[in-house]
Every structure is written in structure tokens, then in C-alpha cells.
Amino acid sequence: MRRAFLPFAALLAGLPPAASAQEVKSVFAGADPDIEMADGQYWIYPTGGDGLSAWSSPDKAKWTKSDPLIRLKDIAWADDDCAPVHFLWAPDMVQANGGWYFYYSVGPQNPTPSRIGVATCKGPAGPCTDSGKPLITGGKGFEAIDPAVFVDPKTSTPYLYAGGSAGATLRVWKLKPDMVSIDQEVKVDTPPNFTEGAFMHFRKGIYYLSYSAGQWNLSNYQVHYAVALSPTGPWRYGGPLLVGDTRYKGPGHHSFFEDPKDGNSYIVYHRWEGQAGNGPYNGSRRVAIQPIQYHPDGVIETIRIR
């Protein structure tokens, strides 16, 4: 295993940038997009404030927003910390075991610790019912934010990846088969330049851990990645994968998917448009969908924002 992996790792540095291509237009205002496919439709789940909705499309071009899948008022435990204001953000929808499961961050992060909740859903557009208690609660320097669930295709084990921001710590847990309970934590290293927004995907024997680096409202926000031969590492750092330019600032908090309709692979991410300087920026971020390419050895070609 190790001997086969070393040549791949050696290729992670010095790759040529992607060739220029047609401009990619953003599809709607939003942030922290997770994408799923079901019923011949694309479904994107972005950050939502006091309610989280799904955006659906038959063609990745025209998008329709659903009613909220879940609202803060539907989460009975949200007020248990007695914080004056609460928020919902960075959701992740997962289809597993014949059901749909929706994970989300519940803030604030200050003055009380953030928490991660989970709901069971009737389908990709909901409705969703909260499990009745937090799945993970932050504290002691760890911020329980940005959940991402990955079901290992080799073992069918579901893993929850979470954490970041000021604590900049990645943690991973195995979930029980019910998808709404923690089995056990798996100790992992936090990869270089990790800030938040972890995402795991698998392709041809390689596990790709990607994540956001930098500060969410500054130009230094970008996507980095690392690779491994298991879903919990050890990681081999691949460096920056997607960075901003003079037109589009701070791309990040993304997800990857392979489109069964055209056989191509894509990244879905948010970015700042119409902003000058290095930030901090104000206003709404925009969701963009951009094709990606893998080299024959499995390395992801550096993505040029466009």
C-alpha cells in the first residue's frame, strides 16, 4: 500500500495550472453549498439563517428554491444554551440506508459553544424532523461546525467530519447505522492550513479530504486538499486547489460530485463577486458549479476560478 502510494504523493507538487476555458456563471446567492442528486434532479443545500432550504435543478442552470426543510423553531434544543440569538448554517444532506439525513450547524459560536444537529427527512426536499438532541457540542477550544458525512464505499461505515474556524481543528466520528447517533470518535491529524468546511470524497482507491483555508470574508479564503488511503488518514498534503483572482474573491466551503448525466466531475463552491480589495467583504456570496479534471494518477488538476 505505502509503496504504491508514494509515486502519487510525489506528483502533488508542481502541477501545471488548468487551461483557460469558458467563464462559469454563478447560479444563485448562497454559501456553503452541499450537492446531492436524486430523482433526476440536482439538489443544493446552502446556509440559510433561521431556516434551511433546498435548491433544485434539472440541468444545473435553472434553480428553484424549496420551502425550508427545517427551521430554528423546529429544533427544540436550540434554545437550551440560553444564547440571545441563534443561527443555522453549513448543512449537509446524505442519502444512506434507504433514508435521507440532514446535518447542520447551530450557533452562535460565542458566547455559547456551537452545536451540530441532525434530522431525518422524507426526501431530498424534506420535510425533515430533528432528532431531538445535539449530535455534537463544541467546547474546550473546539467549534462544532460544518458537518460533512461520508459513507465509505469500501466498508459502508458512515463518518462525520466537523470543526474549524478559530479552533481550526478537524475531528472525525464514526456514526452508528441509524445515522443520528455517534458510535465513536476516530483520532485524526488536522491537515496543513485547515480552517473549516471539510469534505471527503472517494475515487479509484484514493480518499480526498478537501477543506477551506483562510478567513471566510477575506480574499485569502480558498480550497486546499490532502489525500489518503483511508477515510481517516494519514494525510498527504496536496496544497491549494482553488484560489480567487481579481474578479472572484474568496472561493471556498465546497462539495464535489460526479454527474451521472454527463460522466464529468464538478466542484460546487461559493465566492464573492463584484468586490474590490482584500476584504472584509459584505453582502451575499454566490454559488458556482465548475468542472474539474483528474490526472491519470489521481491528482486533481489545479482549478482556475472562472
User: How confident is the prediction along the chain (306 residues), in pLDDT tens digits per residue?
Assistant: 333 333 444 444 443 343 345 789 999 999 999 999 998 999 999 998 889 999 999 999 999 999 999 999 999 999 999 999 999 999 999 999 999 999 999 999 889 999 999 999 999 999 999 999 999 999 999 999 999 999 999 999 999 999 998 889 999 999 999 999 999 999 999 999 999 999 999 999 999 999 999 999 999 999 999 999 999 999 999 999 999 999 999 999 999 999 999 999 999 999 999 999 999 999 999 999 999 999 999 999 999 998
Identify residue 38 by its one-letter amino acid code: A
**The predicted structure's pLDDT at residue 122:** 97
Closest listed residue to residue 37, CA positions, set 258, 263, 253, 204: 258
**The predicted structure's pLDDT at residue 49:** 80
> pTM for this one?
0.93
Closest listed residue to residue 36, CA positions, set 144, 126, 145: 126
Domain chopping of the chain, boundaries: 2-304
Closest listed residue to residue 68, CA positions, set 84, 101, 45: 45
**The predicted structure's pLDDT at residue 21:** 58
Fold of 2-304: Tachylectin-2; Chain A (2.115.10)
**The predicted structure's pLDDT at residue 23:** 85
Q: Is 38 helix (H, G, I), strand (E, B) or coil?
A: strand
| C-alpha distances in Å from residue 148, one per residue of 56, 91, 121, 261, 262 | 20, 8, 16, 24, 25
Q: Between β-strands 303-304 and 236-243, what pairing exists: parallel, antiparallel or unpaired?
A: parallel
**The predicted structure's pLDDT at residue 48:** 86
**The predicted structure's pLDDT at residue 8:** 45
DSSP 88: E
